[in-house]
Amino acid sequence: MSNAKLPQDTCVLVTGGCGFIGSHTVVKLLEGGYQVVIVDDLSNSSEKVLDRIDQIVGDEAAERLTFYRADVNDRTALTEVFDENDVDATIHFAGFKAVGESVQKPIEYYSNNIGNTLTLVDVMREHDCKSIIFSSSATVYGDPDELPLTEGSPKKPATNPYGWTKWMIEEILGSLVVADPAWNVVLLRYFNPIGAHPSGLMGEDPKGIPNNLLPYVAQVAVGRRDAVHVFGNDYDTPDGTGVRDYIHVMDLAAGHVAALAWMAGRTGCEVFNLGTGKGTSVLEIVKAFSAACGRDLPYVIEPRRAGDVTANWADCTKAREVLGWEAEFGIADMCRDSWNWQSHNPNGYEG
């Protein structure tokens, strides 16, 4: 995408496009007129999401979507994808993402997340495709010195291997631009994505016990779990529970499309925070979800978890001023849409 093209003339490769954030971004891309190629090995996602995408966008838009079941670490498979499609830009979501598991399996996390990125950018380079949006994370800020966090806030040492992979991949992509100024890199640092597509057809479907708060709360609401586990109520926050900047996954998806449109024809490396700019506590989330599902959800206070920070939320001024993007949805919307998804799909994509 060294030269700006219209969306209908732009082919976007989405790695991990069947996952939670990836699938919602694919919907936004198709609705925006883009041609989309998904590469996903389905290790933590379901192929059934492809049918849901078709239902949401309609047959005509769905014709612009191509799916490859492949591991991004597989150079031969990835080369085939680039040989068969004239890819203009890549949005890179594919990676292991469970914080706790990363502590137990550091080799697997470093090998997969960093390895697949190195394979991807090398194959991109071979095909003269040098535009990439990377799915980064607010974890790179570590335990913040002050809030809100801006893109200029210092990166801190990560507290787990998952966080380190995001940290290191940002460095790798920045180095690409230093070595070859023709590269066009956007690092999107997400805060805490929750919610679901408002249709109720797509949402977060973690395999096993959810690692993130919202899917766990949703599973309590449908009776799959007994109670919400709240880790720590002695933080220096208004109600003692941790505070995070939760962002609706549809707002996050729109942020990727805005970044893609903005970066067309540019080079260099830019960083953007994607959040709402507001902090919400764990107990506030439980209360909001209770309102969405119409009953009080039980919760249990547990000891603090190692590695959890007290609070973080974003300053998203740069994304608003540069990308023309701003989060539209509030916590009530996020919980409503998450409940709509979970209540109609109590076992996720499996039924």
213, 111, 165, 209 alpha-carbon torsion, rounded to 10°: 0
Cβ atoms of 22 and 16 closer than 8 Å: yes
Q: Across the chain, what does the average pLDDT equal?
A: 96
Cβ atoms of 63 and 19 closer than 8 Å: no
Give the pLDDT of residue 1: 52
How many angstroms separate the CA atoms of 193 and 295, rounded?
A: 23
Quick: pLDDT tens for 243-265: 999 999 999 999 999 999 999 99
Stretch 60-65: mean pLDDT: 98
- Is the model's pLDDT at 2 over the cut of 80? no
Quick: pLDDT tens for 206-235: 888 888 899 999 999 999 999 999 999 999
341: β partners = none
Give the pLDDT of residue 351: 67
67's enclosing H/E stretch is: strand 65-69
Give the pLDDT of residue 287: 98
What percentage of residues in the chain have a pLDDT greater than 90? 92
With b for 16 or more beta-carbon neighbours within 10 A and e for fewer, the 5-32 pattern comes to eebeebbbbbbbbbbbbbbbbbbbbbbb
Give the pLDDT of residue 99: 85
Helix %, strand %, coil % of the chain (to 5): 40, 20, 40
From residue 128, how far is each of 35, 82, 131, 189 by CA, in Å? 18, 10, 9, 26
Please tell me whether residue 7 adopts helix, strand or coil conformation. Answer: helix
Quick: pLDDT tens for 257-291: 999 999 999 999 999 999 999 999 999 999 999 99
Give the pLDDT of residue 121: 98
Give the pLDDT of residue 209: 84
Which residues are known catalytic residues? 162
Quick: pLDDT tens for 159-188: 889 999 999 999 999 999 999 999 999 999
Residue 111 φ then ψ, to 5°: -65, -45
Give the pLDDT of residue 255: 98
The confidence band for 3, taking pLDDT boundaries of 50, 70 and 90, is low
- Is the model's pLDDT at 300 over the cut of 90? yes
3-state secondary structure 249-312: HHHHHHHHHHHHHHHCCCCEEEEEEECCCCCEEHHHHHHHHHHHHCCCCCEEEECCCCCCCCEC
Read off the pTM: 0.97
- Is the model's pLDDT at 305 over the cut of 90? no
83's enclosing H/E stretch is: helix 75-84
Stretch 288-308: mean pLDDT: 95
Quick: pLDDT tens for 78-127: 999 999 999 999 999 999 998 889 999 999 999 999 999 999 999 999 99
Give the pLDDT of residue 5: 87
Pick the CATH number of 10-193+248-275 from 2.30.30.90, 3.40.50.720, 3.10.20.30, 3.40.718.10: 3.40.50.720
What percentage of residues in the chain have a pLDDT greater than 70? 99
Give the pLDDT of residue 207: 83
